[in-house]
Chain A
C-alpha cells in the first residue's frame, strides 16, 4: 500500500533486477528493498545448505580518512580501532554519552589512515553526523559514501566455491573478518569475509555501475540451484537463528552493550577517552538491568516483538525478536528478561514457570543457550 504523499523510497543499483525477478518489494528504512523473491523459507534454507545472494546496498558506508582517523574513531566508538591492522574488520558500536547504543557497526581498516564504517540503513544519517562532530578538531575527514557503493553478499556453505572462480585473489587468503581490494568478475571491489547469517560468506562492496554485472556473474556462477536470491524476510530469520542482534529490536538508545550481552565490544583499556566511557564503566560494574536471553517456544504459536515474557504468570521481560525457526522447526525468540528471572529460568526447577503472553494466552517457553543455530564445525 503506497501513500501517494510519502516521498518515494530510494532505489538501490539493483532494484530493477529485483523487479525483473518478481520480488515482493518493501520500504525498509527509506529504501525499496526485496522482502522475498518467492518463498522466504526456501531462501532461508538455501543459505543454510547452499548459498544465498543478497542486495545490501541500503547499508550505509561512511569513510573516515586522514592522519588522525584511527584516533578519531577510538574517541567516537567503543572499540579500539587504532589497534586494528589494515585489512582487518571489527564489529563495534557507537554509543551516546549515556551509554545507549546509537548503532552497531562493522569497521574495515582499509589502510593506515583509511577506514570504512558500515552502518545500518536507518541510522546512517545519525552515525555520519555523530562521526563528523566527534572527529571535529582532528585531522580526519568523515564522508557519507553510501551512494558510491553497491553492497552484494554471498552467504552459505557454498559461497566460497561459487565466488572463487570470479575472484582475482585466493579466497583462502581472505580470513573471517578481513577485507581487501580484489577484482570480482572484472569489477574492482572491496571483498570482505563478513556476514549476518551465521554462515561462511562474503560481502562485496562495488561501484554502483558494476552492480548489475556482478549480480549477473554471481547468479551465473551459482546456477544449477546452489545459489538463490534472498530477501530481507529470510535475512531476519537467518540472523535471529545465529543470535545476532538487530538495531531497533535488541539494540537502541535505551540499551547499553552490556544489556545486550555484548559488553566485550567496549574497550576500556584503549588509550584516551571515548564517548560514553564514564556511563559504560558504571554499567560494566553494576548489576545489569536486564539480560538478553534466548527462548524456545513449546507450542507452535510464535512469540513476536513486544510480547511480554511471563514468570509464574507475571510479566518479567519483553520479546525483542521472534520467529518460527526454519532450521530448528520451532518458535524462537530473543527477549530481555529481569536478570533474577534469567538466572532462575536457567535451572532445573524452571519447568512450567516460563511463558510468553501470546495475544492473551500464556504459551510455555524454555530458556535456551545462544546462538540458536551454529553452523557445523566441519564446514568453513
Chain B
C-alpha cells in the first residue's frame, strides 16, 4: 500500500493535493484496494460547493458503495471526465490518472480544515487493516 508524501489525507480515505488555491482530490490506494474494482464514481458537478467532512459523491465497486467525503471547503472547478469512461483508473493509478475532482479553496490564504492527516499519520491509521 502506498501513501505518497506531499499529500494530505482524511480518515475516510481521501487524499488531497494542494497547489496554490486549487485542491485535487482522490481516494487512497488503501481505499481502492478495500473496495475492489471500481465500476462507477458519482462526483460533484463542476460549479457546485463542497464542504469539508460532508459527502459529495460515491464510489461504486462490484461489492460495495462508499461515500466520498470532501476534504476541503470550496467550489468544484473540474471533474475527471475520464473516470466516467474508465472507472478502473481509480484502481490502477489512485494518486495520478485516477484523481476525481478539483476544488477552488474557499480560504484565500490556503489554510486547510482541521482533521486532515499527514502521510505518516494516515499510514499509521491504515497499517493494521487490509
Contact = CB atoms under 8 A, between A and B. Distances in A.
Interface of A: 1, 24, 35-36, 39-41, 233, 236-237, 300-302, 304, 323-324, 326, 359
A326 B61 CA distance: 11
A300 B37 contact: no
A323 B130 contact: no
B62 interface: yes
A254 to B, nearest CB: 25
Contacts of A359: 58, 65
Contact of A39 (B37, B42, B63, B65): B37
B60 A326 contact: no
Chain A interface, >50% SS class: mixed
Given A24-B130, A40-B62, A302 B39 contact: yes
Given A24-B130, A39-B91, A41-B37, A304 B65 contact: yes
Given A1-B129, A24-B130, A301 B40 contact: yes
Contacts of A302: 39-40, 60, 65
Contacts of B60: 300-302, 324
Interface string B109-129: 000000000000000000011
Contacts of B42: 300-301
B36 interface: yes
Interface of B: 33, 36-37, 39-40, 42, 58, 60, 62-65, 88, 91, 128-130
A36 B65 CA distance: 17
Contacts of A35: 36
A329 to B, nearest CB: 9
Contact of B63 (A233, A301, A326): A233
Contacts of A237: 62
Contacts of A1: 128-130
Contacts of A41: 37, 39, 62, 88
A370 B63 CA distance: 21
B40 A324 contact: yes
29 contacts: A1-B128, A1-B129, A1-B130, A24-B33, A24-B130, A39-B36, A39-B91, A40-B36, A40-B62, A41-B37, A41-B39, A41-B62, A236-B63, A300-B40, A300-B42, A301-B40, A301-B42, A301-B60, A302-B39, A302-B60, A302-B65, A304-B65, A323-B62, A323-B63, A324-B39, A324-B40, A324-B62, A326-B62, A359-B65
Residue of B33, B36, B58, B88 most packed against chain A (CB within 10 A): B36
A304 B60 CA distance: 11
Contacts of B91: 39
B88 to A, nearest CB: 8
Contacts of B128: 1
Given A39-B36, A40-B62, A323-B62, 5 more contacts: A36-B36, A40-B37, A41-B62, A233-B63, A300-B40
A42 to B, nearest CB: 8
Contacts of B129: 1
